[in-house]
A and B are shown apart, each in its own frame.
Chain A
């Protein structure tokens, strides 16, 4: 097989010499199996190529969509009285009334009167939105707010604003000024104001600068801070948290992929799957995770966060198989309305999760986000990037690269109420355990039921094997008896098979022997009955001969391969039971005793259908028969007509075969189920798939080293 794979590839990739090609083509003509494999491989190569082209177009389409999409978000907090450089985006707030005055001659201010005791949202003429919390300004009920904006280069030039930071020219995405007054006196800002500025596309490199006016009125921009993008939340149930390949595979297998109830229950049933799939324990052993020391170091987040605020303890991870990849139970626990209004319920998290599904031990990375629900996404991204370092290489690992790319977007937080993080974490842990336990319990029940059914089938088979042995033994005894009686009759001795004592002979036999062993007629008959072959015996005393004749009969069943099972029976007129005829190759063969007349009964099983054939007094020779469908009821009554034979045995045989057919169906279904689950498992667990484990190589990830 190995050679075929490589040979075919070399042929398809044009890597063979002329001679080799010719030889290979000859081989293709001569070897049917090779040809079949060749066609399979050729088509799969084509499928891979098509998929590659499709990928390119998908990427192009996605890029197109992204550039067309106007991004919305919310900018970080600002301090009062400062001019600000910003990059960014807007919120979804309603326009407030605005008044405008002229200030500094050429700059147009917008003035707002706000009630400091309640939350207020204002929007400027050019769409900048300020969300001002209650009591944002110190000690006043009514606040006059002055806002100036300059978003376009034209505005900036017209208003004579500079874009210099200590003499270096800045690229600007716009500027704004905000200040609060009471009776003409500036007020102190004591709470953060959230600002949103509309932007066609967000440039994550944009930073927020404070503006300092010098004595000439020229503004110098100082103290740059990265702008964190506030995240918009969605109804969590509308997001897609499945592994990227899961739904496409269900679709490919023509399953009901639109029914979330079905897709959820199937997906969650894979909780801990590699652990108890028992298919290849060596393959699913989780690599030792040795990152605890590393995680103890405070993340470098510009000094804003300390070790204690970033939760990333991993002690409990890595000791069971299910922690190797993202366990569906973990997804089940967070894909829940409780997590609405958290970073989990954002498109940004959805995108990261898709990526985490595609990498080995994505679970470790997921854990970082889940433990830091109240932390900006980009901070978690940075932690993940460090987790993704390949310690054996100086180069940036692909995982590290991807998380750095996420971090560079500066995706921020969703504000969640104080204390919520802990509550949600507790909820998550509880739910996760519940899902995991439910999946395990279901699986254990399922396995127990399988074991029970297997035991039932095994017991039935054992009992049947014993009954068959007894039946064959009884058949043999009866046939031997009849043969012996007949053979004795032929040499002129009256003997019934029930005689326990051989009747006194009329005279003595006198002969010499040249081989040891029993040498009497009984033995000849015994041998003939056992081997079912003809026998001739000449009585050494009387010179009379006795013979028994066995002639071969064969049965060929038309279209036999279309049946699950075919059983051939002979019912001898002189015996009280039936004989099963053994199959040899595609024929059923048996030697018929010429002392008996036999009925031939053939039963075929296909799924739930039964097929039947019967011929009375079947002669020796070759027979080709055609099976016709019959109902169980009709068949039972036909078989009941054989009142000569032990009807209990017949009934038992028939019922046993019906049960066996059900068992066969069950086993076939079981195999199909297992195949289906394996296909789904490889869609869910990107590293579980045989491909990565057959080699006994652990996937290359930093933690596995």
Chain B
């Protein structure tokens, strides 16, 4: 599959097809992360995060390919992994990434890590609900059917509560000073 075919699949939300083209990059990602103190679990997480970044860039048309897509993905992976290491070891920005000049992943805005954590701390049902609403853009009626709520009013109320709960988690995390792993 050519790079432009992969990007086209991404733009048209054909995740599985795009993945067929991207899966071949996994060994390189694995090698990079494992040799840089990462675990198999980290490989999975970072690879998926990189796919998210790539997908968003493809959809926004926000990418310039100087080399191959594989190089591009690996650069994203390196950036994400450095961000993660910084979070874990509290390496200040700029110290560890001198060798990667072409930063393609913007630094997370302050608090976004807490937002992700706050979201992940929600129960399965709440997460599903927010994903269906914000990402899949489903109507409350569709959400009610999919998540077995008795009607769309309940779905709407639950969405409100899930968001409130997420914000409450966010505030707790900020208060307890959880800024990273």
Which residues of A are in contact with B by a Cβ distance under 8 Å? Answer: 1-2, 5-6, 9, 37, 39-41, 43-61, 63-64, 244-245, 248-249, 252-254, 358, 390, 392, 397-399, 672, 675, 679, 682-683, 685-692, 694-695, 697, 699-701
What are the interface flags for B112-149 relative to A under an 8 Å C-beta threshold, 1 for contact and 0 otherwise?
10111111111111110011011110000000001111
A691 to B123 alpha-carbon distance, docked (Å): 8
Contacts of A53 in B (CB 8 A): 51-52, 55-56, 135
**19 A–B pairs (Cβ distance < 8 Å), ordered by A:** A40-B111, A43-B111, A43-B114, A44-B170, A51-B130, A54-B48, A54-B49, A57-B55, A60-B19, A64-B20, A249-B120, A397-B148, A675-B176, A682-B122, A683-B123, A689-B125, A689-B165, A691-B165, A699-B148
Known interface pairs A44-B166, A686-B123. Does A6 touch B181 (Cβ–Cβ under 8 Å)?
A: no
Among residues of A, the one whose C-beta sits closest to the C-beta of B161 is A691
A683 to B126 alpha-carbon distance, docked (Å): 11
B66 within 8 A of A: no
Chain A interface, DSSP helix/strand/loop, else mixed: helix
Q: How far is the CB of B107 from chain A (nearest CB, A)?
A: 14
Contacts of A64 in B (CB 8 A): 16, 19-20, 23
Shortest beta-carbon contacts, A-B, top 5: A52-B135, A43-B115, A47-B119, A48-B130, A689-B123
The answer to whether A47 and B181 touch across the interface, beta carbons within 8 angstroms, is: no
Stretch with Cβ within 8 A of A (4 or more), from B71-79, B97-105, B150-158? B150-158
Q: How far is the CB of A351 from chain B (nearest CB, A)?
A: 15
Interface centre among B49, B112, B119, B158 (most CB of A within 10 A): B119
B8 within 8 A of A: no
B3 within 8 A of A: no
B15 within 8 A of A: yes
Contacts of B134 in A (CB 8 A): 45, 48-49, 52
Q: How far is the CB of B143 from chain A (nearest CB, A)?
A: 12
Q: How far is the CB of A68 from chain B (nearest CB, A)?
A: 10
The answer to whether A692 and B148 touch across the interface, beta carbons within 8 angstroms, is: no
Q: A244-B124, A398-B146 are in contact. List 5 more A-B contacts (CB 8 A).
A: A40-B171, A44-B119, A49-B134, A254-B178, A695-B158
The answer to whether A47 and B112 touch across the interface, beta carbons within 8 angstroms, is: yes
Among residues of A, the one whose C-beta sits closest to the C-beta of B129 is A691
The answer to whether B164 and A47 touch across the interface, beta carbons within 8 angstroms, is: no
Contacts of B136 in A (CB 8 A): 52
A254 to B117 alpha-carbon distance, docked (Å): 11
Among residues of B, the one whose C-beta sits closest to the C-beta of A51 is B131
B85 within 8 A of A: no
A76 to B158 alpha-carbon distance, docked (Å): 47
Contacts of B25 in A (CB 8 A): none
The answer to whether B162 and A52 touch across the interface, beta carbons within 8 angstroms, is: no
Q: How far is the CB of B118 from chain A (nearest CB, A)?
A: 6
The answer to whether B125 and A686 touch across the interface, beta carbons within 8 angstroms, is: yes
Q: How far is the CB of B135 from chain A (nearest CB, A)?
A: 3
Among residues of B, the one whose C-beta sits closest to the C-beta of A698 is B150
The answer to whether A695 and B157 touch across the interface, beta carbons within 8 angstroms, is: yes
Among residues of A, the one whose C-beta sits closest to the C-beta of B135 is A52
Among residues of A, the one whose C-beta sits closest to the C-beta of B41 is A251
Known interface pairs A50-B116, A63-B16. Does A700 touch B149 (Cβ–Cβ under 8 Å)?
A: yes
The answer to whether A48 and B15 touch across the interface, beta carbons within 8 angstroms, is: no
Contacts of B169 in A (CB 8 A): 679
The answer to whether A683 and B15 touch across the interface, beta carbons within 8 angstroms, is: no
The answer to whether A690 and B161 touch across the interface, beta carbons within 8 angstroms, is: yes
A694 to B15 alpha-carbon distance, docked (Å): 36
B62 within 8 A of A: no
Q: How far is the CB of B21 from chain A (nearest CB, A)?
A: 11
Interface centre among A6, A56, A253, A682 (most CB of B within 10 A): A56
Scan residues 52-86 of chain B and give those whose CB is less than 8 A from a CB of chain A.
Answer: 52, 55-56
B109 within 8 A of A: yes
Contacts of B131 in A (CB 8 A): 48-49, 51-52, 55
Contacts of B165 in A (CB 8 A): 689-691
Known interface pairs A53-B55, A53-B56, A60-B15. Does A5 touch B160 (Cβ–Cβ under 8 Å)?
A: yes
Contacts of B15 in A (CB 8 A): 56-57, 59-60
A181 to B165 alpha-carbon distance, docked (Å): 72
A433 to B118 alpha-carbon distance, docked (Å): 35
Known interface pairs A45-B134, A252-B121. Does A5 touch B163 (Cβ–Cβ under 8 Å)?
A: yes
Q: How far is the CB of A30 from chain B (nearest CB, A)?
A: 21
Q: How far is the CB of A191 from chain B (nearest CB, A)?
A: 45
Q: How far is the CB of B119 from chain A (nearest CB, A)?
A: 4
Known interface pairs A43-B111, A682-B122. Does A48 touch B135 (Cβ–Cβ under 8 Å)?
A: yes
Known interface pairs A5-B164, A50-B116, A54-B49. Does A254 touch B23 (Cβ–Cβ under 8 Å)?
A: no
Partner of B122, one of A56, A689, A700: A689
B36 within 8 A of A: no
Contacts of B19 in A (CB 8 A): 57, 60-61, 64
Partner of B148, one of A58, A675, A700: A700
Among residues of A, the one whose C-beta sits closest to the C-beta of B50 is A57
The answer to whether B160 and A47 touch across the interface, beta carbons within 8 angstroms, is: no
A181 to B127 alpha-carbon distance, docked (Å): 63
B28 within 8 A of A: no
Interface centre among B13, B125, B147 (most CB of A within 10 A): B125
Contacts of B124 in A (CB 8 A): 244-245, 358, 686
Contacts of A6 in B (CB 8 A): 160
The answer to whether B164 and A682 touch across the interface, beta carbons within 8 angstroms, is: no
Known interface pairs A48-B135, A244-B124. Does A694 touch B112 (Cβ–Cβ under 8 Å)?
A: no
Among residues of B, the one whose C-beta sits closest to the C-beta of A61 is B19
A48 to B147 alpha-carbon distance, docked (Å): 16
Among residues of A, the one whose C-beta sits closest to the C-beta of B59 is A53
The answer to whether A43 and B161 touch across the interface, beta carbons within 8 angstroms, is: no
Partner of A700, one of B116, B118, B150: B150
Partner of A691, one of B48, B120, B158: B158
